[in-house]
Chain A
Amino acid sequence: MSDPWAIRPSHLLAVFGCLTLVACARSTPAPAPGASQAPPAVAYEAHVAAGGIAPAGGALENPHAGDAAVAKAGEQLFAAMNCDGCHNPGGTGWVGPSLSDRRWRYGGADAEVFSSIYYGRPKGMPAFGGVLGIDGVWTLVTYIRSLPLPSDVPTESWEQP
């Protein structure tokens, strides 16, 4: 990063490439199936199914699930992609919602979080799939799923005990 104050998307790919290499070197993940294709739509498990019949949905599996080294790389990516600018360092919430409180607008399963990052969401979540690619998004998912739960959920009290 010779000129960190004016990084262009081409540079970002290089930054991301480094991080991926780190992740790859440590965990050698299997390449995502059909890496050049867009993933299929994912059913959101918490939706209420009309008629009691859940629709069929695509299945996405996180190739890095639970991998601490990938989660670490994801933390770097979380800063490099400016995720922290909206969700705060540690994903505790800023202008964008908290990612650490175990509460989810669009589902907290790996595949659901993947969909939110890859395609974006209404109310301002940009689509990062274009700049990050499939494995980059999985790296972020792995980090987000590793975040610790804040201590004061759900009750906040100002009374002396």
Chain B
Amino acid sequence: MAQGSAFAAGAPAGPSEDGQWTMPAKNYSATRYSGLSQINAQNARSLHPVWTFSTGVLAGHEGQPLMVGETLYVVTPWPNVLYAFDLRKEGYPLRWKYRPDVSSNALGVACCDAVNRGAFYLDGRIVYNLLDGHTVAVDARSGKELWKTTIADTGNGETVTMAPVVVRDRVIVGASGGEFGIYGWLKALDLKTGQIVWTGHNMGPDADMLARPDSFKPPYDGGADVGARSWAGESWKTGGAPVWGWISYDPELDLIYYGTGNAAPYDPEARPGDNKWSASVLARRPGTGELVWAYQFTPHDNWDYDATGAMVLADLGIAGKSVKALVHFDKNGFAYTLDRATGRLLVAAAFAPVTWAKSVDLASGRPVLEPAKQTGVSKGKVTGVCPSLEGAVSPASPPAYSPRTHLFYTSTNNLCMDYGAAHASHLRATPYIGVDFAYHPGPGGNLGAFIAWDAASGRKAWEDKESYPSWSGALVTAGDVVFYGTLDGWFKAVDAHSGQVLSKFKVGSGVVGNPIAYRGPDGKEYVAIYAGIGGDWALLAGDTRSDDPTDVREPAEFMKDLARHTSQGGIVWIFGL
């Protein structure tokens, strides 16, 4: 790769920094940390757009591009077009684009907009998921389809929005459908052939979960068939626990980590018990799928607190010892630091207003519940539950971790809710929900914030308040600059030590995607981000949509003016100095 003279102007990147972005979260540890340092706190004010591209798609642009060699790869929301841009040529023309045939029926089975959270590159292949339940591998050089495998059944409420992770020759994928009462699972496909190698369910009998008594060692709640026994009757069969977030991997321990979504339906009285392993983190062997440990953040989920947010792997100094940690910011408002070898809980502290629990007990690993905030049909409308079911952070908005500052950086939401559970009936391929809810601004009135978090001590280092819920992922670089976008369409660069805004630019639509940094063929550092409001905001703030004259929506009750600042539309932005 060419390295221009401008490269020498910045502080040297670490020797392991190749300047690329080949995985959804930059690396297997999911830190979203780039070792590039050309853009720093002194020069970030000079950041400006150098290129834009309209994807022509209006749904929410979650996820992030990939940058491999001299090519930028972009996956759009449904219809899931894959673009390959040639960064060597002026204007970055397309090398090719790949347009798969994706069923529009899937749009009615996707709970919350037709999003896609990105692709993975390995060994000359781009691998990603299609909304209608397929995984595809595409030749990264030619754009030719190598294989296409059916992994999920839209007729049974399953769609696929998550970004796969490839470990050695295993493509790891999961399905959305926590609002359709699916029987949640994780699958591995062979990278070369696309054949399904193993399927491990997230609940149910041990055999379905690929859990063996001699090797499955959950640190707290174990026992034979706990994934079935902790659900009343056979409610585990329609219990949700989808996989729509992120997967990380520790090569030394040879464990993959992923979070599971909410238990279905939203009325917890329909499924007495802990409902393991919904709203949990699971650790499996990538080769065989074997379950090694699991930890449940929200037992007997009462509030739609999916745990599908990223599991970030970092080695932290805790109480004077270096710990192989896993850090997770949960929808339920607590940030968890676990021992990633065992799943044992080390630190748990609220990073946003929480009323459903008083704390998390480190000895038992369980939340200390607030009785007045437990929900169910018999309890009627339960008011003042914080966080809202949008989460204290959206799992779609992954954090970043800097080994230089030892801080985690994450978007947060400051919303509370009234939650009235209702009876739900399971009818294949229709929503299985059962709730009547309303949102309210949390304490302070600002609807969101972007924060820096010390996961060793469970303390907030700084906070930038935002007028609206903060829904973008985070990026941090060796230049000690943090990047994120806002729902009203600002893309910001802030100081990693203080949160001070160094630069901001209005990018045309609200940001629900994740920034990446890379070194271009010219040797210069660039930052790329999607604009394109959507995801839950296509539903909640329906007036940000103008794409269908036969469908006119009201503004969000708790946020009537968002559409004053933004509207739909996917744009890829690249910024440079």
Contacts and interface: CB of A to CB of B under 8 A. Distances in A.
B425 A85 contact: no
Interface in B557-577: 561, 563-564
Contact of A95 (B108, B422, B550): B108
B223 to A, nearest CB: 23
A2 B237 CA distance: 17
Given A6-B237, A158-B561, A126 B548 contact: no
Contacts of A6: 233-235, 237-238, 426
A141 to B, nearest CB: 17
Nearest to A98: B551
Interface in A33-66: none
Nearest to B107: A124
Interface in A78-129: 79-86, 89, 92-98, 101, 103-105, 122-126
Interface string B260-300: 00000101001100000000000000000000000000000
B551 A126 contact: no
Interface string B525-549: 0000000000000110011000011
A5 to B, nearest CB: 3
B563 A103 contact: no
Contacts of A96: 108
A101 B423 contact: no
A158 B565 CA distance: 11
Given A86-B108, A95-B112, A7 B425 contact: yes
Interface stretch (B118-126, B137-145, B394-402, B427-435): B427-435
A142 B112 CA distance: 28
A12 B427 contact: yes
B424 interface: yes
A126 B105 CA distance: 8
A21 B551 CA distance: 33
A124 B431 contact: no
Contacts of A15: 425
B197 to A, nearest CB: 31
Among A6, A93, A122, max chain B CB count under 10 A is at A6
B551 A93 contact: yes
Contact of B554 (A7, A80, A89, A152): A152
B233 A4 contact: no
B553 A98 contact: yes
A76 to B, nearest CB: 11
Given A85-B433, A98-B553, A4 B423 contact: yes
B111 interface: yes
Contacts of B542: 93
A156 B430 contact: no
Interface in B485-517: none
Which of B108, B430, B548, B552 has most chain A Cβ within 10 Å?
B552
Count class of interface residues, chain B: 35 or more
Interface centre among A94, A95, A131, A150 (most CB of B within 10 A): A95
Contacts of A98: 551-553
B171 interface: no
A21 B426 CA distance: 22
Nearest to A152: B554
A153 interface: yes
A123 B107 contact: yes
A104 B279 CA distance: 39
Nearest to A89: B436
Contacts of B108: 86, 95-96, 123-126
Interface in A1-42: 1, 3-9, 11-12, 15
Given A93-B542, A122-B104, A7 B427 contact: yes
Interface in B12-28: none
Interface in B92-119: 104-113
A156 B542 CA distance: 12
Contact of A103 (B234, B431, B539, B551): B551
A161 interface: no
Contacts of A152: 554
Given A12-B425, A82-B430, A123-B104, A5 B110 contact: no
Contact of B429 (A5, A79, A126): A126
Contact of A124 (B104, B232, B235, B271): B104
Given A86-B108, A124-B104, A103 B237 contact: no
B466 interface: no
B304 interface: no
A80 B111 contact: no
B179 interface: yes
B555 interface: yes
B428 A95 contact: no
A126 B237 contact: no
Given A7-B425, A9-B427, A95-B110, A103 B554 contact: no
B235 A5 contact: yes
A156 B554 CA distance: 9
A125 B108 CA distance: 6
Point out which of B425, B539, B561 has the most chain A C-beta atoms below 10 A from its C-beta.
B425
B112 A156 contact: no
Contact of A97 (B232, B238, B422, B548): B548
Contacts of B110: 95, 124
Contact of B430 (A85, A105, A153): A85
A101 B548 CA distance: 12
Given A82-B431, A105-B550, A122-B104, A5 B112 contact: no
A3 B233 contact: yes
A67 to B, nearest CB: 25
Contacts of A86: 108, 430-431
A1 B112 CA distance: 29
A5 B552 contact: no
A83 B431 CA distance: 8
6 contacts: A5-B267, A7-B427, A96-B108, A98-B552, A104-B550, A105-B550
Interface of A: 1, 3-9, 11-12, 15, 79-86, 89, 92-98, 101, 103-105, 122-126, 131, 150, 152-154, 156, 158
Given A6-B237, A86-B108, A158-B564, 5 more contacts: A5-B270, A6-B233, A8-B426, A89-B436, A94-B539
Nearest 6 A-B pairs (CB), nearest first? A124-B108, A85-B431, A5-B270, A97-B551, A82-B430, A124-B107
